[in-house]
Amino acid sequence: MSEQSIRPSEGLRHVRYEIRGRLARRAHELERQGYEIISLNIGNPRAFGLRTPETMRLAMIENLGEAEGYCHQKGIFPAREAVVMQQQGRGIPGVTAEEVFIGNGVSELIDLTLRALLNDGDEVLVPSPDYPLWTAAVTLNRGRAVHYPCRPENGFVPDPEEIARLVTARTRAIVIINPNNPTGAVYPRAVLEALARLAERAGLVVFSDEIYDQMTYEGAEFVPMATLVHDTLCATLSGLSKVYRACGYRVGWASFSGRTHAAGDYLNALELLSSLRLCSNVMAQWAVQTALGGHQSVRELIAPGGRLYESRAAILEATARSRFLRLAPPGGAMYAFVGVDPEALPQFDDQQFALDLLEQKHVLIAPGVSFNVPYRNHFRITNLPDAATLREVFTRVEDLLAEYASTRRSESGSPGAKVVSARFK
């Protein structure tokens, strides 16, 4: 009997998630060989010593007896009601527990909300750069991601008029990530208002990814999208992973507002999909009410002297001193989307640089192309490590870029061409 290889689904052909892709696998190989790798490719607070608030852990322990069976497909009532109270406190009217769905992280809800909406060839407006799960989920659910540019020269803030020109008869929804991953941009109120009016005119569902809603710096104003969207459906997606440093709990939520009365069939379809996966992690849902209603410890982290504030400051200082790096200061979230000056290194390639940085300097980053951008001169890092670690990282980055520049001057060759791992050919 001849041996045949098992082929993957053709539906995965255009699906990418390089943040945990081949570079991360190579980093694991190097760690098994004994090398110490500084991994900055993923926003995982626990990996850098940032703990979930103790009150949330206690809330789960106290309710272990209530967490042994399935719960309602939308989630336990106290968790959903806590989301309602947060939304009402932000001035969002009309939300009840019936419009809140709890999922196994926002990641699951991105997939479910798109699956309930899209037909073959339907288009979804997605930012570029984006958190790549959004593009992947649109593709996996038979849609087409149409990327609207958030340009570096504009501080990664989108232009609503430019987005309006991308709307077609097949456009069903627009994705807004604010504060933004990977850029850290916090969108001005006027831009969000223009996007809300655009969505209302075109009848688009608004998916507002607000997982970093309380992570802003130096007076940047976070404006909840649901406070601006009235005459179309708005889904606000958030969770415990980032602000509450509880990535492993896998708890997220989608809260629907706006024209919910016209979206009954869609919300019923979403409930059907929620029922098919039975329910989300019950134990961790018991931490939601305590998290949203308790002390917001993230405020100390983002204030001067706080861990995230000081780490961000170290990134700003390092990029300002650099001969090669450029940065639009992130106003929020836990990342920096760093650019390399194309005049200083005109043949720079982000993927090759990420590989060289890993192999030579033992630092793992995410190349910019991972985030669905057409240019190749950016990379994303997280500001979760302490400031001293980040200063060391940028010393290594600067050293490698200086080697690139020296190689270019002496050989007139492609920067970074001297190191190519055979594993990646």
Q: What is the CATH number of domain 10-50+300-413?
A: 3.90.1150.10
Domains of the chain by residue range: 10-50+300-413, 54-293
Distances (CA, A) of 115 to 119, 121, 168, 251: 8, 13, 20, 19
Q: Please, what is the end-to-end C-alpha distance for the chain in angstroms?
A: 32
How far apart are the C-alpha atoms of 422 and 425, rounded to whole Å?
5
Task: Report pLDDT for 422.
Answer: 32
What pLDDT score was predicted for residue 423? 33
pLDDT recorded at residue 425: 28
Whether 10-50+300-413 and 54-293 share one fold: the answer is: no
Q: What is the pLDDT of residue 424?
A: 31
pLDDT given for residue 411 in this prediction: 62
Domain 54-293 fold:
Aspartate Aminotransferase; domain 2 (3.40.640)
Q: Which pLDDT score is estimated for 174?
A: 98
Length of the chain: 425
**pLDDT at position 409:** 67
* The pLDDT value given to residue 7: 83
CA 103/CA 357 separation, integer angstroms = 36
Other Cβ atoms within 10 Å of 3 Cβ, number: 4
Residues 6+ positions from 287 with CB-CB distance below 8 Å: 52, 56, 57, 59, 60, 240, 244, 246, 249, 251
Low-confidence ranges of the chain (pLDDT < 70): 1-2, 409-425
The C-alpha atoms of residue 102 and residue 61 are separated, in whole angstroms, by: 20
Report yes or no: 165 and 192 within 8 Å, Cβ to Cβ: no
pLDDT in tens, 148-176: 999 999 999 999 999 999 999 999 999 99
The pLDDT assigned to 8 comes to: 82
